[in-house]
Amino acid sequence: MNAVAKDLAVPASDIHLGADAGETTVKHLNLADYRIIYFATHGLVAGDVKGVAEPSLALSIPKQPSALDDRLLTASKVAQLKLNADWVVPSACNTVAGDKPGAVGVGAVVLPCPRAGVAGDALGGRFGGHDPAQHIDL
């Protein structure tokens, strides 16, 4: 993550880590100003969390969870974002496909990106296991 930010000359003010890497931050940033949006976090396939029927990215836990910030950035929430990015990168486990029959991978989180304003590509990869880094880079 730090190597990506360095290679792209991302200012420190545009890197959101720890408690600042939550759903509230994502929703309050003017994401239309970003050409690349890079999430480095844990990915959840549909059904990993009881009651959540779509893939999501797990963001930082808010001090006061609410309907507006439950820490999960789902595909339907991405569709509501105002984006103008060339790339959206969900660097998270389970981005291509889930391991459960019929499960939709976390990569599906970025499928609504063209509707949200992404002009370029949404990228994904496949890896699994424990992801100790719970943060996002924007």
Query: Which pLDDT belongs to residue 3?
Result: 83
% residues pLDDT > 70 (the chain): 67
Predicted TM-score of the model (pTM): 0.73
% residues pLDDT > 90 (the chain): 25
Q: Which domain holds residue 17?
A: 2-137
Average pLDDT over residues 13-19: 92
Number of structural domains in the chain:
1
Give the side-chain half-sphere CA count within 13 A for 112: 17
Q: Which residues, listed in sequence order, are joined to residue 43 by a DSSP beta bridge?
A: 57
Average pLDDT over residues 64-89: 87
Q: What are the structure tokens assigned to 129, written together? A: 């296991």
